[in-house]
Structure 1
Amino acid sequence: MSLTHDTSAGAASVAPAPARVDLARTWMLRSPLAGGLETSADVLVLDLEDGLPAGRKAEGRDRARAAASDAPVWLRISAAGTRDGQADLALGRELDDRLAGVVLAMCAGPADVAHVAASLPAGVPIVAMVESAAALLAAPAIAAHPATRRLAFGTGDFRRDTGMGVDRIALSWPRAQLVVASAAAGIAGPIDGPCGPVDQAQDAAAHAVAMGFTGTLALHDAAVDGAHAAFTPSPAEVDAALALLSATPDGPVDGSYAPTLARARALVERAEALASL
């Protein structure tokens, strides 16, 4: 899959084309200090925020700069308006066309998206992370900003800010808000918080799919296969959808018929798009 960075041949592969940003299922957050860009995730994101201790921020940026010499890179940048955020944006401007996109940590509202978009080369994709109660309430406006390609749910910081537990019921309302905000803005479904323990990755991703998410952040490569399995329509699901779409009703249909067909069509289209990556 061409969204993956792979250094097995000595260089990273070409970064994802903008259209594929909307399809990416797994977004691997990795510290630039960790070394190695090889991953089976759809997108590798060099984490300049939580991935770097305060005393090694400059070193981390230097490593990200070096990685960009092989192929365009995605960067997770610190909050807009902060000193580290400004330094991260300066690096993004320096990289120019070697910057594939940014994941904006701690996005507080559409003004943050506007600031980042104005500070980077035109057209750089922005994934805005919603990580606080205030940001969740602003999610519709964040999603509607023209520079926002997707929303991402920063579950750890959100739970810290709100006091919510990790329980799925507790987080179902904020997750639903992000899904609705994305759909209303006409952008791809949001990206869920890190998929947790490796042995639970597929189950966590399946829950995210049921909530309307279309991707997840990841911290460990061993979680990627399970997440991909959940976020990719299965052959059985595709066959059932195709059978429904090819069937001609021979009698009355009810009000659920058209929405059911639309969901089946969307599933087939997503499966075909993912297969073409």
Structure 2
Amino acid sequence: MNPYRSMLFVPGHKPSWAEKAVAAGADAIILDLEDSVPAADKDEARQTVRETIDRLRAQNVRADIWVRTNSVDSGLFGADIERVLGPGLAGLLLPKVFDAKEIVQIDAVVSHVEKREGLDSGSVGLIVSFETAVSMAHCEDLAVASPRVSSLLGATGPNADVGRELGFEFTPEGLETLYLRSRIILAARAAGLHHPVCGVWQDMKDLDGFRRFAEDNRRLGYKGIVLIHPSHVEIANEVFTPSPEKVDFYRRMIAAFEDAEARGSAAVDFEGQHIDLAHAKTARSVINLAEAIGVG
């Protein structure tokens, strides 16, 4: 999966909002068919989403386009897939998943529609959103359930699905979800998924609070965040972009290690720090991320 610092939700039945998301600078746009779309508008929203994908694809927008489908147990998932899966779609954000068997079934359905639509096999990715207690208890199995799984979403937020499922009281400090968010990070990394994303900050006006929330999740190991408002995009992109100072520091570290290596040493004193191959690998991962984002 491409590194997404910011993934912005757009209600699927609001076509003009997609351009606003693009203008805000989001790395990815999630056209939503689930909670933000009224039940009576679901069918029309599917058509609108497909038209929006086609329009943005024709405009050659930089942002990747994802779709949040309705959950499998809603009975609406099949109709969502049949209508929206096609050229220009990077993948599906899967809400309210329960177990690995469900991912395997989704993979089979997506494979069938991919083939029918003439898409490259495996081109449609999956992001698993952990919103049920069952899924959280089995996040390791879900992470490896299909090669299509591109990332894991460690969802939080007050008064929403996660809080209701687990019965916690949300706080900005996040101690009540620290175990859950940490476990999802571990499951992602153990499965070779290097770009887990977090979410969601619901207070649209508290930008300072959002910045702290994003920074806390970055320190924990998340590489991007799912957003519900365009005003959060700029902050998210800043928080999850390695600073020029950090990039320069790690470039100097790599140069120092390579120089030591050329002289037959596997370790070196770098600006007062003992570094070896492990540190050089960490430095290279930061540089690779910066280059992928386009700031390296």
TM-score (norm 1): 0.84
Alignment of 1:44-55 (within 5 A): 44-55=29-40
Task: Verify the 8 A CA contact 1:46 1:74 in the aligned structure 2.
Answer: yes
User: Using the alignment, how far apart are the partners of 1:256 and 1:177 within structure 2?
Assistant: 28
> Considering only CA atoms, is the larger Rg found in Structure 1 or Structure 2?
2
Q: Does structure 1 residue 148 correspond to structure 2 residue 142? A: no
Q: CA deviation at 1:172?
A: 0.8
User: 2:170 — aligned with what?
Assistant: 166
Q: CA deviation at 1:276?
A: 6.8
Q: CA deviation at 1:261?
A: 2.8
User: Using the alignment, how far apart are the partners of 1:117 and 1:264 within structure 2?
Assistant: 35
State, as a whole percentage, how many aligned pairs show the same letter. 24
User: 2:60 — aligned with what?
Assistant: none
Task: Verify the 8 A CA contact 1:154 1:193 in the aligned structure 2.
Answer: yes
User: Using the alignment, how far apart are the partners of 2:269 and 2:40 within structure 1?
Assistant: 70
User: 1:16 — aligned with what?
Assistant: none
Say which SS state the counterpart of residue 97 (structure 1) adopts: coil
Range 193-202 or range 130-139, more displaced? 193-202
Q: CA deviation at 1:215?
A: 1.0
User: 2:289 — aligned with what?
Assistant: 270
User: Using the alignment, how far apart are the partners of 2:232 and 2:287 within structure 1?
Assistant: 25
User: 1:228 — aligned with what?
Assistant: 237
Say which SS state the counterpart of residue 55 (structure 2) adopts: coil
User: 2:105 — aligned with what?
Assistant: 115
TM-score (norm 2): 0.79
- RMSD, aligned CA: 2.3
Alignment of 1:54-73 (within 5 A): 54-72=39-57, 73=65
Say which SS state the counterpart of residue 128 (structure 1) adopts: strand
Task: Verify the 8 A CA contact 2:126 2:148 in the aligned structure 1.
Answer: yes
Post-superposition CA distance 1:46-93 (Å, at most 9, x none): 11011111121112112112213314542101112431122212223x
User: Using the alignment, how far apart are the partners of 2:275 and 2:100 within structure 1?
Assistant: 36
User: Using the alignment, how far apart are the partners of 1:35 and 1:115 within structure 2?
Assistant: 30
Say which SS state the counterpart of residue 52 (structure 1) adopts: coil
Letter in 1 for 2:197: I
Task: Verify the 8 A CA contact 1:140 1:181 in the aligned structure 2.
Answer: yes
User: 1:177 — aligned with what?
Assistant: 183
- The structure 1 segments of at least 4 consecutive aligned residues displaced by more than 6 Å after TM superposition are 251-256
- Equivalent pairs counted in the alignment come to 255
User: Using the alignment, how far apart are the partners of 1:56 and 1:251 within structure 2?
Assistant: 63
Choose the corresponding residue for 1:85, options 53, 77, 86: 77
User: 1:204 — aligned with what?
Assistant: 213
User: 2:249 — aligned with what?
Assistant: 240
Post-superposition CA distance 1:175-198 (Å, at most 9, x none): 001100010000123110123434
Query: Against the structure 1 CA distance between its residues 268 and 54, is the aligned structure 2 distance closer, same or farther, given a 3 Å change threshold?
Result: same
Task: Verify the 8 A CA contact 1:80 1:115 in the aligned structure 2.
Answer: no
User: Using the alignment, how far apart are the partners of 2:187 and 2:54 within structure 1?
Assistant: 36
User: Using the alignment, how far apart are the partners of 1:128 and 1:86 within structure 2?
Assistant: 17
Post-superposition CA distance 1:77-131 (Å, at most 9, x none): 1112431122212223xx4224331111111122222222211213111111111
Q: CA deviation at 1:224?
A: 0.5
User: Using the alignment, how far apart are the partners of 1:126 and 1:154 within structure 2?
Assistant: 15
User: Using the alignment, how far apart are the partners of 2:280 and 2:169 within structure 1?
Assistant: 37
Task: Verify the 8 A CA contact 2:33 2:68 in the aligned structure 1.
Answer: yes
User: Using the alignment, how far apart are the partners of 1:260 and 1:272 within structure 2?
Assistant: 18
User: 2:2 — aligned with what?
Assistant: 22
